[in-house]
Amino acid sequence: MRIVVHGVGGVGGTILAALCDAGLDAVGIARGAMLEAIRAQGLTLRAPERMVHVRPHCVADPSDLTFGPDDIVLLTMKSQDTWPALLALRDAGLREQPVFCLQNGVANERAATRLFPNVHGATVMMPATYLVPGEVAVTAGPRFGMFDIGRYPGGTDADDGRLAQAFEAANIAAFVMPDVMASKYGKLLMNLSNIVQAVLGPGVDAGDLTKRVRAEAKDVYRAAGIAWKNVGMDDPRRDVMRPAPVPGVSRQGGSTTQSLLRGTGSVETDWLNGEIAFLARMHGVAAPLNARLTDLGAEVLRKEVRPGGMTRADLEAWLAG
């Protein structure tokens, strides 16, 4: 079994380094400065209790690989980059092999199923950070992360078991579950505050805004008949992965904050708060907070707002329209 990690950023880099360090057969698909750095000097993972350095095989495009029947593909790019990645995988000859969506949001599995018959969901709980090209960090221990995995739209199969076994060997907790999308909808609730953190800055008190945004989303779930599971910090399974400091590394914030800091030119908000706005429109209910936050994601890109570029008063004024 070979594991193809498509998207070597914070999460993908952590997974790739952990798999290689465990002696498992893994290859990365990376781009730009990260690809150049890995080819030149390898990949370093900084964790609370140790540092891992590996020299994984990395390519620039799926067409640089020959896919075999025992391959497993992990999508670890941001949701806004999923569709081009799926098209490239199809053009490269991927067909029946399992595709696991290790991404925030719930739209990636739906997109992958348009092209491939063997799609799986995965809830990612891994506080990973892209530090510099060739170097990532994960601020959690004793495990690097915790994933729920299962088939899309439901059920489990042998591929879930194979990947779970590989993750466990690589110090990543893995739970196979037949209703993985309920777990992913639970994680989506947590990610709805990503854009709030990004504009206010990490650690800035948002008042009751996060609670209001999540309450609105839960009302939308109920209207849509969508079930969700709690995957927050009070989930008892979280004992395997608790926040822990990494010497010399400060956590930069969530994925949206990191995107703004790195100037990537895109954020996930359309697939996070935008998913709630979409569901609300499909089921005839209102979700004004999430709709406005979706628009805010586009606005901060257009105006090149940096993390901490808005005050609470600014944000509340924006939400009021």
The band of 104, judged by pLDDT with boundaries at 50, 70 and 90, is very high
pLDDT at 318 over 90: no
In this predicted structure, what is the pLDDT of residue 263? 85
CATH number of 41's domain: 3.40.50.720
Instruction: Kindly provide the b/e burial profile for residues 70-80, where b requires at least 16 CB atoms within 10 angstroms of the residue's own CB.
Output: ebbbbbbbbbb
Residue 10: which domain range? 2-320
pLDDT at 314 over 80: yes
Question: C-alpha distances in angstroms, 190 versus 152, 227, 255?
Answer: 21, 15, 12
pLDDT at 303 over 80: yes
**Residue owning tokens 């890995």:** 38
**Identity (one letter) of the amino acid at 13?**
G
pLDDT > 90 in the chain, percent: 88
Report, as an integer, the average pLDDT of 176-192: 97
pLDDT > 70 in the chain, percent: 100
In this prediction the pTM is 0.96
Whether 170 contacts 21, CB under 8 Å = yes
In this predicted structure, what is the pLDDT of residue 254? 87
pLDDT at 252 over 80: no
In this predicted structure, what is the pLDDT of residue 251? 75
**What is the rounded CA–CA span in Å between residue 242 and residue 245?**
10
Report, as an integer, the average pLDDT of 215-221: 98
Lowest mean pLDDT among 28-37, 43-52, 307-316: 307-316
Two tokens, residue 9: 């950023």
Closest among 247, 240, 233 to 47, alpha carbons compared: 247
How many structural domains is the chain composed of?
1
Q: In this predicted model, what pLDDT tens digit does every residue of 286-301 receive, in sequence order?
A: 999 999 999 999 999 9
**What is the rounded CA–CA span in Å between residue 127 and residue 243?**
8
- Give the helix/strand (H/E) hosting 181: helix 180-191
**What is the rounded CA–CA span in Å between residue 2 and residue 320?**
50
Strand duo 26-29 + 51-54: pairing: unpaired
Q: In this predicted model, what pLDDT tens digit does every residue of 150-180 receive, in sequence order?
A: 999 999 999 999 999 999 999 999 999 999 9
- Work out the mean pLDDT of the chain and round it to a whole number: 95
